[in-house]
Amino acid sequence: MGIDLLYRKELEKENGDELAGLSVLNMGKIPAQVFPGYEEARKTLSELAKKAFSLPEDDRRLYYNQACISLDSFCASRIGLLPSLTSQISMFLHVNPAPASDAEIDCYKQEIRALLTSMGYSGDLIQQCAKWEEKNRVPADEVKGVMEELMAEAREETGKILELPDGDYYSVVTESGCPFNAASYYDERHVVINIDPVLTRQGLKHLVCHECYPGHFMQFSLRQRLYEKGVAAADGLLSVCNHSSSSTFEGIGDASLEFIDWIKDDDDRVMQLLSELKAALGTAASYRLHALNMPASEVENWLRSHALVGGDGWISNRMRFVADPSRSALIWSYWRGDQGVFDVWRRVDKKDRQRFFEYIYDRLHTVQSMQLFR
């Protein structure tokens, strides 16, 4: 929180008002330690990292050391010592900084084409996706109602694997012009859905699970309740951007559909593949913009040539997201987070699933500490 305070003061000076800081949620209203500058914060982090080596649990020891490295690297970037995008991805998120390659993007497309062909859709891939999207499209004025219906169903299914918060619910708000597809606002207990992209019922199912049940709302709710019971650490009260926990945070959100066994048919499977493709495209777009220094118009045209669904509304919000310097590295947390979480989830035996859920919801993780689940 002390580093967040330093950062917010810089943003206020640079932009004339306070923008989103490093900490996007502080459930414990934890006060900020006041540092004169980033060098003093880095000294404190160095001492914390040394103390973390004495922690008894393997995953906590690894997590806290990587968390200290993430925050130290953020401080270094603010004083000009970590200028490159790939270094920031590596040191902030602790994931492979390589963007999705043309071959990986083509592989997703081939899988989507094969599935749509097996479902009876004709034409080339663009035509197939257009027909699939039109068949499943939810008009903007119906999004709120469909989301509420899906959220009630997802909450019921989530109750079978996690302890639901009694009498604590999310509501749905629809907005236009957002630099994101959806966002979870835990303090206000609502999810904001951007209605500019073309939305399908399957896409809304994905957003319900990612942002609400059993995704971000449940992640926040469980951390807060467990801390209040005295069985979880205070680090879980914060949600921090560009952090070692960012990738698993997003990966858990994307895996949530599978957690509650809510992929019911081929339409859901098409959406799952499209979501992975979009996450991959985000990394490639950010890399072209910030590492290769391609003009924004050229990157936008490239993104449009590969995005199979979502329309101009999705293109616009992705470009605004990756153009933001505070989000240009964070976009990797979705694709690499999916890989890190699914890699573990898909090797967990059914008999071990409850123990796995406790492992990932009761404490924060990095991609590497999640691999320690046995």
CB atoms within 10 A of CB 14: 9
Beta strands 190-194 and 171-175 are parallel
Instruction: Give DSSP secondary structure letters for 195-224.
Output: -SS--BHHHHHHHHHHHTSSSHHHHHHHHH
Contact 127, 296 (CB under 8 A): no
| Residue 21 identity | G
d(CA 181, CA 199): 10
What would the 3-class secondary structure string for 112-153 be?
HHHHHHHCCCCCCHHHHHHHHHHHHECCHHHHHHHHHHHHHH
> Does a structural domain hold residue 348?
no
> Does a structural domain hold residue 356?
no
> Does a structural domain hold residue 66?
no
Predicted pLDDT at 17: 46
Per-residue pLDDT tens digits for 109-162: 999 999 999 999 999 999 999 999 999 999 999 999 999 999 999 999 999 999
> Does a structural domain hold residue 43?
no
> Does a structural domain hold residue 117?
yes
Predicted pLDDT at 282: 98
Predicted pLDDT at 153: 98
Predicted pLDDT at 29: 85
CB atoms within 10 A of CB 229: 8
d(CA 242, CA 233): 20
| Residue 25 dihedral angles phi and psi, to the nearest 5° | -155, 130
CB atoms within 10 A of CB 23: 20
> Does a structural domain hold residue 75?
no
Omega of the bond leading into 214 within 30 degrees of 0 (cis) = yes
d(CA 20, CA 4): 10
Indicate the number of domains in the chain. Answer: 1
What is residue 256's DSSP assignment? H
> Does a structural domain hold residue 25?
no
Full domain range(s) for residue 186: 102-237+248-335
Predicted pLDDT at 30: 84
| pTM (two decimals) | 0.96
Q: Which residues of the chain have pLDDT under 50?
A: 17-18
DSSP helix, strand, coil percent of the chain (3-state; round to 5): 60, 5, 35
Per-residue pLDDT tens digits for 234-262: 999 999 999 999 999 999 999 999 999 99
CB atoms within 10 A of CB 186: 18
3-class state of residue 306 by DSSP:
helix
